[in-house]
Amino acid sequence: MFELPSGAEIQSIIASLQASVGFFIPEIYLSLLFMLLIVIDLVAKGRKNNLLAITTLVGLAGSFFFIYQQHALPAGEFFFGMYVLDEFALFFKYFFVLSGMLAVVITMADEQFDSEVKSIGEYYALIVAMVIGMIMMACSSDLLMIFLSMELVSFTAYILTGYFKRNARSSEAALKYLVYGAVSSGLMVYGFSLIYGLTAQTNLIKISAELATHGYDPLVMIFSTLLVLAGFGYKIGAVPFHFWSPDVYEGAPTPITAYLSVASKAAGFALLMRFYYIAVPHDGHAYEDILGIDWLSLLILLSVASMIYGNVVALWQKNVKRLLAYSSIAHAGYLLLGIIVMDELGTQATLFYLLSYFLMNFGAFYVVILIANKTGSENLDDYRGLGKSMPLAGAALTVFLISLVGLPPTLGFIGKLMIFSALLAKGSLYMWLALIGIMTSVISLYYYMLIPLNMYLRESRHHEEKQLSPGMPAQIFMAVLMILTIYFGLFFAPLSDFAKYSSAMFGLTLH
């Protein structure tokens, strides 16, 4: 039985909470923004304008101010070790806010919303809620907090996926997402409970200390890490936890697809890195008695399977969104490579790759939306002749796809370069992983190039040569994304230095 805390204890708890609030300002600000959006939606109901979108954009942009101020705060835990603030977390705060903003921008461009939904309603509020949830994922340092933040993200994501209520595919996607999500959360919580059983702790750093001092049963440990991996693997969309992603990516509103494929995946990676780096460190010989398998081997397995499966299955896709879904599975595999090396360079490479993936994937989906606005289709066959009728969109999409393949002079190339550098810095140990990585990226060239192939090499089936213009703001935005992809591919030092700065994780000592 728990005893009620004494008055003095309550005083100290309150004092601690008050001290912690200072570290939580961006999250509070975003929560207020969330409520404000709901209120605006209630007040301004029925009005067909971009008021909500603009408010969301401005509001999200405002949060940069509060996040920026957190650089001055010392890294550390607060809220009784539930929550952590470090450079690593700050990186993801910027990342998620920025991806939320991009999601809003591309939603504004998507004309499908005009036909599918009468009122945009709570859509933008949910995007903000998801930003909050993902930020909390990146900052959680406690099993309970991890679970709560993941569920917050998942539930908002389910709703957003099924946002086109009258669209059967959208609803189907939401249901599939929900079912898979529920199962993998369940598995993950089971894994957490085993870890709690082993260590009697929920804080990641304390778990690590407990494991180091008291030892553990390796069989239980490997079993629990496997279960936890089911939860994280589902979020990052890695094989074999990927089954939801093609259907969800295809069925969901395209801005949500882009948002999920970049931000939600990144949140999964943030969590995965923090959990495995801090709670269950890999010391090379810890679990060797169990078939030599530990979580690192599991991650290697996941990574290899994702790279091969994602890239190979994408070869047969006829729908561009589905193709990009499989490509995102493959990219999860490349990102895992950076985690596997388990050193500062690996973390830097992973974070850098996330940045590059952010730019090129959002860019690709943005163009896909603009094209769908004009042609009403996401089928590869309907991309024929688009290089002529939408020249800028065609060029931009080609640049993003080249970047996704990993060819210079684009950002995606540098991402791959960093990942492979991290692998090769370990000598010949991970050479075979690097080989699989580059071989599969050659495969990926084929399916990515199917899109430019249809756009440029094949004639449109409609013979009239009319120009389809997506409108000036969209053209400019698209051009900016394209130029950034190339610019950062040639001058990537700022991004890389930022990634290095951000690789510092509280409570972590990597060798």
Which residues of the shown chain bind another protein in the complex (CB under 8 A)? 343-349, 388, 398, 402, 407-409, 413, 416-417, 420-422, 424-425, 427-428, 431, 434-435, 438-439, 441-442, 445-446, 449, 452-453, 456-458, 491-493, 496-497, 500, 503
Structure tokens at 141: 């340092």
Q: Helical H runs in 290-430? A: 295-314, 320-340, 344-375, 386-389, 391-405, 411-424
Between 17 and 431, whose beta carbon lies closer to another protein? 431
Q: How far is the CB of 434 from another protein (least distance, A)?
A: 6
Question: In b/e form, how buried is each residue of 278-289, taking b as 16+ CB within 10 angstroms?
Answer: bbbbbeeebbee
The residue (of 154 and 440) whose beta carbon lies closer to another protein is 440
CA dihedral over 338, 339, 344, 348, signed as positive or negative? positive
Q: Is 39 exposed, middle or buried (0-12, 13-18, 19+ CB in 10 A)?
A: exposed
- Cα dihedral angle (190, 191, 197, 201), rounded to 10 degrees? -110
Q: Which is nearer to another protein, 30 or 434 (CB)?
A: 434
**Nearest approach, Cβ of residue 266 and another protein (Å):** 20
- Please report how close the Cβ of residue 495 comes to another protein at its closest, in angstroms: 9
Provide, rounded to whole angstroms, the least separation between the CB of residue 365 and another protein.
21
Rounded to whole angstroms, how far apart are CA atoms 63 and 26?
6
Helix (H), strand (E), coil (C) string for 142-182: EHHHHHHHHHHHHHHHHHHHCCCCCCHHHHHHHHHHHHHHH
Rg of the Cα trace of the chain? 23
Least gap, CB of 78 to another protein (angstroms) = 28
Beta bridge partners of 139: none
Residues 381/454, Cβ–Cβ less than 8 Å? yes
Closest contact distance (angstroms) between CB of 348 and another protein is 5
Closer residue to another protein, CB minimum distance, 39 or 490: 490
How near is the Cβ of 462 to another protein at its closest, in Å? 18
Q: Which is closer to another protein, CB of 255 or CB of 387? A: 387
Instruction: Select 46 or 427, whichever has its Cβ closest to another protein.
Output: 427
Query: How near is the Cβ of 383 to another protein at its closest, in Å?
Result: 14
* 216 vs 506, beta carbon nearer another protein: 506
Find the farthest-apart pair of alpha carbons in the chain and give their distance in angstroms, rounded. Answer: 82
Indicate the residue among 111 and 344 with the shorter CB distance to another protein: 344
